[in-house]
Structure formats: C-alpha cells, structure tokens
Amino acid sequence: MQQTSRELVASEDEAGERIDRWLAAKIPELSRSRIQALIKAGAVTSGGGTIGEAGWRVKPGRSYSITVPEAEEPTPRAEEIALDVVYEDGDLIVIDKPAGLVVHPAPGHATGTLVNALIGHCGDSLSGIGGVKRPGIVHRLDKDTSGLLVVAKNDAAHKSLSEQFADHGRDGRLHRAYLALCWGVPDRPSGVVDAPLGRSQANRKKMAVVSEAFGRSARTHYHVEKVFADVEGHDFVAMMRLELETGRTHQIRVHMAHLRHPVLGDPVYGTGFKASARRLGEGAREALHHLRRQALHAVELGFEHPVSGREMAFESHLPADMARLIAALEAHQA
C-alpha cells in the first residue's frame, strides 16, 4: 500500500498548540477527525518517538512527521444504479435523488443505496473520506423524499461542506428549500415552527416534538405558496415552501404534523389524515394513491464551493408523481 509522509516544523508563535489542531491547520485537505485517527494509529512522530495523544502540545523548532496511508477500498460495493447528476467536478457531486432511494447502507438496506451508486459512478475520483474511498455524505434525505443532495468526493470538500451544513446557513453560505403538499391551511400564510425534536417515547423509530430537556432545538420556516379546495370548495390542501434553520431527522414531517398540517402521503406522521382523501376529487384521490410516499421535495440547494469558494445554486423540477398530484388538485378548482 502506498503512503505519503509530511514533515513539518513548529514556529515560535505556534508553541503550545494541540498537535491535532496544528496539523489540521497545516494540512487543510485532512479533517481534524482524520488527523486524530492517524494520531491514534501511531502515524505521527517526532524525534524518533510516536505521539499518541491528540492533545500533545507542539514545541517550537521541533519537527513533526505524519504518514498518511493510501485510501482503502470502500466496504460498500460499487453498483451500477442510474443517477440524475445535476453537477459534478473533482471535489463534489450534486444529485437529484428520486423517491425510494436510500442514501446510506443500513440494516435492511445493505445494497441498492445512493452510496453504492456513487462508488460505482465516481470510481477513482473518490480520493478518500477518513482514509476510505467513499462518498462523503454531509446531509441526507429520507428514503421517500426526493430532490437535491450534495456529496463530497474528498476530505477537504467533506470538511468544508460539513461545516456549512452544521452552521445551517447562518453565515449565508448554505441555502435549502423544500416544497410540500400539506393537509389543511395554516391560519397564518407564513411562520416559524420552533419546537425541539427527539425520539418518541411511544415509538423509538419515530421522532416527536419533546421538551427542551429531552430534545434538540429545531426551527422550520414555512410559507403557503398555493391553496387547493376540496370537492365542496373549501380550502383543504396547501402547497408549502419550507426552509430549515436546523437539520434534524424527519424535521419537516414532524413539524408539519405538529402544526396539524401533515404532509400528504406521509405513512408515519400523517396516518390520522388518511380519511381526508375522500374530500378530494377523483383525479386527486387517484394521484395521491399512486404517490405512495410523502409529498415532499428538496427543490433548492445552494452552498459555497468547498475549494473554489464560488457560490453554487441549483433548482430541481418537481418529480412526475408530485407534479401529477398538483395538476389533479388544480383541475378541481373553481
């Protein structure tokens, strides 16, 4: 296995810095967590001795060596799965994910995932995330949520994109927007759902709005884009634009259910509204039946390119199943 070695010397003004922080600043293409793993593996030495602690303090004029092994082959195997590639370069790839595609291998989904597809598609352009030739997943979409998703190809891109998603757009670099069809119409056309989320005590597979002591802060901004009537002419379905200030598991779906306006077709958080389909026109009922998923789509994604610093912005057209449902809802309007 090929490996590369770097030798670095600490200056006077760098004295006393933690070795992991110092190396991360000197070698930006490696994440701090990757450097910590290398330190733990004995890959950092000085004066013929191994440095085994990430908190080791550097000494001025002292030389430090770090050996980085070649990236290992990925554990998930490459698979030929068609991908809708919106943009790709040597550092990242933007995908328009279809509904039904799981992002990452997990129990019950060991193969046929986006990760398997990306390993097959990207091949040698994956230079290693954390020492493994794998795509760097910095955010996820639920299996049955469609839309835009960006993935890193190397450690440097993974580090930058992870920081942007962790900041959730507060510094202006990241932008995400979703479109959803929801049951009912909120009293206010725009607003913010500010409700902590955590695991449901009744069902550990579900998320729920919980007290601050047991959950993590979660904020969702919503705006009603359009309203559709039922067969009697009453406002009954809202097309909502949603922007995340945080990125919790199932955040939009749980927050909309918390507002008592769950996403149409949601099999987990909208089960209490199944009977509501009776109030839709025949075409809309049929389109909803064939949707077979939550009517939620990641329509916009913007971020700062992790290497060039360019502002990147992408939009996705609604997938055919959601577009068909909207057309059926519109056909029944007065």
For domain 85-166, the CATH class is alpha beta
140 vs 94: CA distance, rounded Å? 12
Domain 177-303+309-331 belongs in CATH node 3.20.190.10: no
Instruction: State whether residue 224 is helix, strand or coil.
Output: strand
Please state the rounded mean pLDDT for residues 120-147.
83
| Residue 53 pLDDT exceeds 80 | yes
Query: pLDDT (tens digit, 9 = 90+) per residue, 167-186?
Result: 877 788 999 999 999 999 99
Question: Residue 334's pLDDT is what?
Answer: 57
Active site residue 142: yes
Q: Higher pLDDT residue, 301 or 29?
A: 301
CATH, range 3-69:
3.10.290.10
Domains in the chain: boundaries = 3-69, 85-166, 177-303+309-331
| Residue 32 pLDDT exceeds 50 | yes
Please state the rounded mean pLDDT for residues 45-62.
89
User: From the CB of residue 275, how many other CB atoms can be counted at a distance below 10 Å?
Assistant: 7
CA-based nearest residue to 92, from 64, 63, 61, 129:
129
One of 91, 96, 142, 321 is an active-site residue; which one? Answer: 142
Asked if 319 and 189 touch (Cβ cutoff 8 Å), the reply is: no
Same fold, 3-69 and 177-303+309-331: no
What pTM, to 2 d.p., does this model score? 0.78
46 vs 23: CA distance, rounded Å? 13
Question: Residue 24's pLDDT is what?
Answer: 86
Q: For residue 76, how far is the Cα from the chain centroid?
A: 19
Question: Residue 129's pLDDT is what?
Answer: 63
In the chain, pLDDT over 70 holds for what percent of residues? 94
- For residues 21, 14, 40, 35, the Cα torsion angle rounded to the nearest 10 degrees is 40
